[in-house]
Amino acid sequence: MEAYPIKLSYHVRSYAFGDRRIPELLGKRGVPGGVVAETWEISDYRETTGRVLNGPYAGRTLHDLVEEFPDELVGKGWRGPHFPILCKFLDASRMLPVHLHAGDETAKRKYGEPNGKTEAWHILWAAEGATVLAGVREGVSREELREAFLARDYDAVMVRRGIESGDTVYVPGGVLHSFGPDTLVFEVQQTSDLGVSVMPEDLYGRPLGEEEWRANIEAALEELEPDPRPVPNPGLPLEEGDNRRVLCCAGPHFALERWTLAAAHREPPHPRRCLTLSNVGGGEVALEHAGGTEVLGRAESCLLPASIGAVRVVPEGEASLVACYVPDLQRDVIAPLREAGRSDEEIRGLGEVGL
């Protein structure tokens, strides 16, 4: 494989909860007019798989490359049906539906899918007083949940917490959740689009019939995991100084870091895992590698193949990036944080780290 920073076409969803914050606040170019609720920056989900925009593989799909170069692209020894993570910008100018995504076991048993959908929201911008709903209150019965959903009284049975820019919320599959209004997030998730809502409208705001709405509620109650109650977390610093790296969340499916760079940063080789980078700052970032240089503009994303070797990340002024990867939890998360003096309790707060 010819390894270089791979840019991909992005997929747009115009759900009713969105508006224009992705182009207006992040500066993303080329988006269509009207509502832009989500841009799927790195995706290998079925028909949304990205198409390569640059370099020798221009015109080919991400799925093509995953199938042909699993070791060189994703990581030595990796095998799977699709690229393992999906990264998106999400504009919750309005409240998202209250919904959940199937966990791995439910996805396989009920839907015949290879995996479910655990996700995390990294808060890029939130208005003062913004909140998330995530998880159900302890001791709430199935009947109380059903009654609350039919009454649209979600606060009666769910946990609401405040959020700020820089927080991250790790949401395992099966956890009931919503957020918005007035929130802009970067989301990383398992590659899946399974989901069931308990609200009487669909994602585009169209009303559902009574029978369909009630059937969705019953499906959600069947798939619900009642115990996880996600808590927004500011993350744990891995590096301080001119350049700051914060480990924001971690679990078996993905880890997310936020990088704030005032000087060049050398990202060492990672032959066992690839890395996605999304530029969420105000200027361009140069990615220097053995084969040349690629520039990442505002609100652009790319994939650094596992075989690319060292990459020098050079900011234009101060840069802000989100980096995602599938971690080896002991090597990439637990060991470096323990070395930095972090307690196991702090590390557990990042998600599902196996401690």
Q: Which residues are annotated as a binding site?
A: 101, 119, 177
64, exposed or middle or buried, with CB in 10 Å at 0-12, 13-18, 19+?
Answer: middle
Element at 217 (helix H, strand E): helix 210-223
256/154 Cα distance (integer angstroms):
29
For residue 244, count other CB atoms closer than 10 A to its CB.
Answer: 15
Q: Tokens 């909860």 label which residue? A: 17
296/302 Cα distance (integer angstroms):
8
User: Which three-class secondary structure state does DSSP give residue 59?
Assistant: coil
Q: Which two tokens stand for residue 283?
A: 């200027």
For residue 42, count other CB atoms closer than 10 A to its CB.
Answer: 26
Contact 43, 11 (CB under 8 A): yes
Residue type, 5: P
Q: Per the annotation, where are the binding residues for Zn(2+)?
A: 101, 119, 177
107, exposed or middle or buried, with CB in 10 Å at 0-12, 13-18, 19+?
Answer: buried
List the beta strands (DSSP E) in 211-300. Answer: 236-239, 243-250, 255-261, 265-267, 275-279, 285-289, 292-296
217/240 Cα distance (integer angstroms):
46
Pairing of strands 255-261, 265-267: unpaired
